Amino acid sequence: MTDWFDAHIPRHVRTLDAYQPGKPVEELERELGITGAIKVASNENPLGPSPKALAVLPAALAQLHLYPDAGGFALWRAIVAKLGLGLGQIALGNGSNDLLYQLVLATCEPTDEVVSHSCAFLSYRLAAQVAGRPFIAAPTTPDLACDIDALIAAFTPQTKLVVLGSPNNPTGSVITQAGAAKVLAALPARALLVFDEAYTEYAAAWPEIDHVDGLALLRADRRVVVLRTFSKIYGLAGIRIGFAAGDQAVLDVLGRVGRTFHVSSLAQVAAIAALEDGAHVAASARHARAQIERFRAEIKGPSVRVLPSLANFVLVDCGRPSPPIYDALLKRGVIVRPMAAWGLPNAIRVSVCKDSELARVITTINEVLAA
Ligand SMILES: Cc1ncc(COP(=O)(O)O)c(C=O)c1O
């Protein structure tokens, strides 16, 4: 079978790394012989799903024998009304990652380049690689944020998609409004600028910090595409729903490469309700900011640095290789995300947690960093 694989599987697929899923907490507890493990590894919302979304799901269960509305009409209408967008400026996806993959498939010729930076969310590279398109990673600033000038210097006549997270995962850094304007001014005429705003509702809790509003830019420039998700602040990661906002011509082509019925009926009704759950969104944003302030003030150690973050996690530069730190934390029941795959071998990423867990998370990290 190896011969068949080598001879018949396209090279760009053969060289892909399979996604390594984290183990479920219960499995880890069993393996390590511990109980009460805390998972702060996946940037989920520790306050749980939007209660309004939970409330509408039982009624939707009775309709599970029917296919979902393939156009997602009711959700689509709710989103454009909420965000003040024109009709046709929204596409729904099975999570926002789904839409990123569709964007690459729908817009990039084989030699077209997807451009981001070296500390960007790994999916940008993966979406390009899965489609066999070149991915270009510009260098970052010394504090691991997007270096706007270096990004622009990486543009070539083949640049087609420029993808920027704001806030970015795993650094938590944002693109400033001036930075975004500079990128747009330098964007090759054939390219689109994609803002991945998976954590943007969290950034709203930091009004004093300048950061880009992708939707405002989209209103002024048709070359902007914004990706949003219900997986983070709305607490609906398990049901898989996200959307893209952009020019109608761009979103039309997404529909051509997307699969039919890829957004479930449960996801659609849950998202409509969650969108109206302002109380849950505001509480989640306040909670994340308060915990990030605690992480930044209290996680300490020789050469340890906790980066500023406007999302629901922090990147901790441990000042030394992080795999043994990750292992030691695991044994003590605190599951963080090691960052070697991101090219950050000294870093771990720590998501916000329940308030009742916070003291243990910080104390355990500090004990391990001090060891
Ligand atoms: C920056 C960023 N974008 C997108 C996603 C994926 O979102 P979704 O669950 O909507 O596919 C994540 C999830 O971790 C993320 O961190």
Q: Give me the tens of pLDDT residue by residue for the chain, a chain 371 residues long.
A: 678 888 999 989 998 887 777 778 898 899 989 999 999 999 999 999 999 999 999 999 999 999 999 889 999 999 999 999 988 999 999 999 999 999 999 999 999 999 999 999 999 999 999 999 999 999 999 999 999 999 999 999 999 999 999 999 999 999 999 999 999 999 999 999 999 999 999 999 999 999 999 999 999 999 999 999 999 999 999 999 999 999 999 999 998 998 889 999 999 999 999 999 999 999 999 999 999 999 999 999 999 999 999 999 999 999 999 999 999 999 999 999 999 989 999 999 999 999 999 999 999 999 999 99
Residues 214, 197 contacting (CB under 8 angstroms): yes
Query: What is the rounded CA–CA span in Å between residue 280 and residue 273?
Result: 11
CA of 371 to the centre of ligand 1 (A): 33
pTM over 0.85: yes
Q: Tell me which of 116, 194, 229 to substitute to probe ligand 1's pocket, judged by most ligand atoms within 8 Å of the beta carbon.
A: 229
Q: Listing from the earlier edge strand, what are the strands of the sheet with 347-351?
A: 305-306, 313-317, 347-351, 337-338
The number of beta carbons lying within 10 Å of the beta carbon of residue 217 is 19
Q: HSE on the CB side for 223, CA within 13 Å?
A: 17
Quick one: tokens of 274? 């969650």
φ, ψ of residue 138 to 5 degrees: the values are -75, 155
In short, whether 124's Cβ falls inside 6 Å of ligand 1 is: no
Q: Name residue 17's amino acid.
A: D
Average pLDDT of the residues of the chain: 96
Closest residue by Cα to atom 12, ligand 1, is: 198
Q: What is the pLDDT of residues 291-307, one digit of tens each?
A: 999 999 999 999 999 99
Q: How far is CA 187 from CA 110, 219, 269, in A?
A: 20, 17, 37
Q: How many Cβ atoms from other residues are within 10 Å of residue 205's Cβ?
A: 20
Sign, CA dihedral 206-207-210-216, equals positive
Residue with tokens 């498939």: 105
Task: For domain 51-276, give the CATH number.
Answer: 3.40.640.10
Query: What is the spatial distance between Cα 273 and Cα 59, in angstroms, rounded to a whole number?
Result: 13
Output the residue whose Cα is nearest ligand 1's atom 3. 198
Phi (first) and psi of residue 108, to 5 degrees: -100, 125
> Of ligand 1's atoms, which has the minimum distance to the CA of residue 96?
10
Report the nearest atom of ligand 1 relative to the CA of 43: 14
Domain ranges of the chain: 20-43+279-370, 51-276
Ligand 1 pocket test: which of 99, 146, 163, 169 has the largest number of ligand atoms within 8 Å of its C-beta? Answer: 169
CB 181 within 8 A of CB 220: no
- CATH (residue range 20-43+279-370): 3.90.1150.10
Closest CA to 225 of 176, 163, 182: 163
The protein residue whose alpha carbon is closest to atom 16 in ligand 1 is: 169
Measured from the Cα of 167, ligand 1's closest atom is 1
Helices (H) and strands (E) in the chain, counts: 16, 13
Residues 6 or more apart whose Cβ sits within 8 Å of residue 135? 113, 114, 115, 116, 124, 125, 128, 129
Q: Which of 43, 45, 97 to mutate to test the pocket of ligand 1 (most atoms within 8 A of CB)?
A: 97
